[in-house]
């Protein structure tokens, strides 16, 4: 099936609201709400196509946009690859130039509007930060772990996976409970690793599945109001994570790492090819830190995940 490339704009106004438009009732997916955009022509770049589409559809002249996520979605009758970009500066007043209703909506209210299935991953991406930190709980005392979390919060990190590497189950549970309570005070969301039952036991914001856990479940193993993440290394694991309803995945290693010197790195071209075929946000992992964010987004990543480099 031929894949249709589409440029999609998440346009923000000064109040932090997002522009959405309603599709006409007579077209494909009519009546649903969407982020404005349209087909990328053969002679256009993504940014060029988005600027043209925004002018034609909603009358705004956008400044250069920033990549948010690239994802593919297969409908029964067509496949689309959405190149989603954020726009924070524009000229003009938004209006439906094709007769379609348009609205400025706070991010917190997007869930109230029915969107095409392909747009749901965009909404998830908008709720996710650019950085995803990984803390190994097997290294350090209780106080050292608390200081590490506090340092991450000070540096602006608000999404953290608690990894049990080198940690006995009882110690992991004890550390995680303390850190989740601290995270609540610091406004940091913590995801635990292990079985779904740990969520209620520890009170974490979500669950991070190892790649070898992805075949253990036939459906999403936790409620939709908790974050579900997955570690992935290839196309098959990414597809299984998407099928389980994961909110995001971590894919790597992208570059060589000292922690896994024998692991074959994916490289950026392979990483980009893999993430373009899944419909969920993906963090790039492996030899990366803050300075790699723009490059990671250029290759389709939502953001960067790291064990070190965020403090």
192: phi then psi, degrees, rounded to nearest 5: -100, 160
Distance between CA atoms of residues 271 and 56, nearest Å: 33
Residue 174 buriedness (CB in 10 A; 0-12 / 13-18 / 19+):
middle
Residues 159-181: what's their mean pLDDT? Answer: 94
pLDDT of residue 1: 64
pLDDT digits (tens, 9 = 90+) for 76-105: 877 888 899 999 999 999 999 988 999 999
Q: Establish whether the linkage from the previous residue to 69 is cis, with ω within 30° of 0.
A: no
Query: Quick one: pLDDT at residue 27?
Result: 74
Calpha distance 78→188 (Å, rounded): 40
CA distances (Å), 213 to each of 176, 195, 232, 234, in order?
A: 20, 9, 11, 14
Question: Residue 59 and residue 53: Cα distance in Å, rounded?
Answer: 9
Question: What tokens does 250 get?
Answer: 């971590």
Q: For residue 177, what are its two tokens?
A: 């409970």
Which whole-number Å values give the CA distances from 29 to 113, 258, 286, in the listed order?
Answer: 14, 48, 39
Quick: pLDDT tens for 199-241: 999 999 999 999 999 999 999 999 989 999 999 999 999 999 9
Give the pLDDT score at 118: 73
The predicted structure's pLDDT at residue 11? 97
Which of these ranges, 37-41, 70-74, 110-114, 259-263, has the smallest mean pLDDT? 259-263
Can you read off the two tokens belonging to residue 155? 């540096």
Domains located in the chain, CATH noted: 3-123 (3.90.79.10), 131-306 (3.20.20.70)
Q: How many residues does the chain have?
A: 311
**Tens of pLDDT, residues 293-309:** 999 988 989 999 998 76
């Amino acid at each position: 099936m031929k894949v249709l490339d589409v440029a999609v704009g998440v346009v923000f106004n000064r109040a932090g609201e997002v522009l959405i438009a309603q599709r006409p009732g007579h077209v494909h997916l009519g009546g649903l709400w969407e982020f404005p955009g349209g087909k990328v022509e053969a002679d256009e770049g993504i940014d060029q196509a988005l600027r043209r589409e925004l002018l034609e559809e909603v009358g705004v002249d956008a400044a250069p946009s920033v990549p948010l996520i690239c994802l593919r979605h297969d409908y029964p009758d067509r496949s689309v690859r959405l190149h989603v970009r954020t726009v924070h500066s524009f000229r003009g007043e938004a209006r439906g130039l094709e007769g379609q209703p348009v609205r400025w909506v706070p991010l917190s209210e997007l869930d109230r509007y029915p969107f095409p299935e392909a747009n749901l991953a965009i909404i998830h991406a908008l709720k996710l930060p650019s950085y995803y930190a990984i803390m190994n709980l097997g290294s350090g005392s209780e106080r050292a772990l608390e200081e590490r979390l506090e340092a991450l919060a000070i540096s602006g990190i608000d999404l953290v996976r608690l990894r049990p590497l080198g940690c006995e189950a009882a110690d992991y549970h004890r550390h995680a409970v303390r850190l989740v309570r601290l995270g609540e005070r610091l406004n940091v969301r913590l995801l635990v690793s292990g079985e779904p039952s740990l969520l209620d036991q520890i009170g974490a914001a979500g669950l991070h599945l190892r790649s070898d856990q992805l075949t253990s479940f036939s459906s999403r193993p936790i409620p939709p109001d908790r974050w579900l993440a997955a570690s992935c290394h290839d196309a098959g694991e990414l597809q299984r994570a998407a099928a389980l309803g994961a909110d995001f995945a971590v894919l790597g290693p992208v570059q060589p790492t000292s922690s896994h010197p024998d692991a074959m790195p994916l490289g950026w071209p392979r990483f980009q090819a893999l993430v373009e075929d899944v419909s969920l946000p993906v963090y790039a992992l492996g030899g990366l830190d803050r300075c790699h964010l723009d490059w990671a987004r250029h290759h389709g990543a939502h953001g960067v995940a790291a064990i070190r480099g965020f403090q």
